[in-house]
């Protein structure tokens, strides 16, 4: 992954402090040069970067493996895009699920994060919030492998609890 971002930047002007999006991920240029020194989000807290690419590489591998296991092509989105989230959902909730529909705008990933048999009133807009895929991933790593699955996908997370970082 680090070599991919270095290759991407090799023919482009870049400066220290800039962020670069490549696929689902965002990287920061810590030091310009050839090659530049690049940092990845650490996926432990919001806007925290590291020169250790272990977490980003693990997430990328899990996303690739998930696409392969479902036999589908990537439906791109970014960690900056949002998902609609039920107020009943909490990170690690045993009855949580993901469902992807077509996105409604450039900031929307199309994902909904909810729980089975949700007691919240689905007709009340106050029972939903919007959160970035990045924030959701930091708080519940079970979600990370599935973000690139296509619309019309539903994933019950009870059956997918093994992904740990």
Rounded Cα distance between 70 and 130, Å, is 27
pLDDT digits (tens, 9 = 90+) for 60-79: 999 999 999 999 999 999 99
Please classify residue 25 by burial: count the beta carbons closer than 10 Å to its beta carbon, then call 0-12 exposed, 13-18 middle and 19+ buried.
buried
What does the pLDDT read at residue 109? 97
Instruction: Check if the beta carbon of residue 19 is closer than 8 Å to that of residue 41.
Output: no
**Which residue, among 72, 85, 58, 68, has the nearest Cα to 162 in the 3D structure?**
58
Threshold 0.85, pTM exceeds: yes
Rounded Cα distance between 68 and 113, Å, is 22
pLDDT digits (tens, 9 = 90+) for 120-153: 887 888 889 999 999 999 999 999 999 999 999 9
């Amino acid at each position: 992954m680090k070599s991919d971002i270095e290759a991407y930047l090799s023919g482009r002007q870049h400066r220290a402090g800039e962020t670069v999006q490549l696929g689902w991920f965002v990287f920061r240029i810590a030091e310009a040069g050839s090659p530049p020194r690049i940092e990845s989000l650490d996926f432990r807290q919001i806007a925290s970067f590291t020169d250790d690419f272990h977490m980003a590489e693990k997430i990328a591998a899990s996303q690739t493996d998930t696409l392969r296991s479902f036999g589908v092509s990537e439906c791109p989105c970014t960690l900056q895009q949002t998902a609609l989230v039920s107020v009943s959902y909490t990170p690690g909730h045993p009855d949580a699920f993901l469902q992807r529909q077509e996105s409604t705008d450039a900031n929307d990933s199309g994902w909904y994060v909810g729980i089975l048999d949700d007691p919240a009133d689905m007709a009340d807009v106050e029972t939903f919030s919007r959160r970035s895929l990045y924030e959701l991933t930091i708080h519940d790593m079970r979600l990370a492998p599935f973000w690139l699955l296509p619309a019309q996908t539903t994933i019950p997370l009870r059956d997918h609890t093994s992904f740990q970082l």
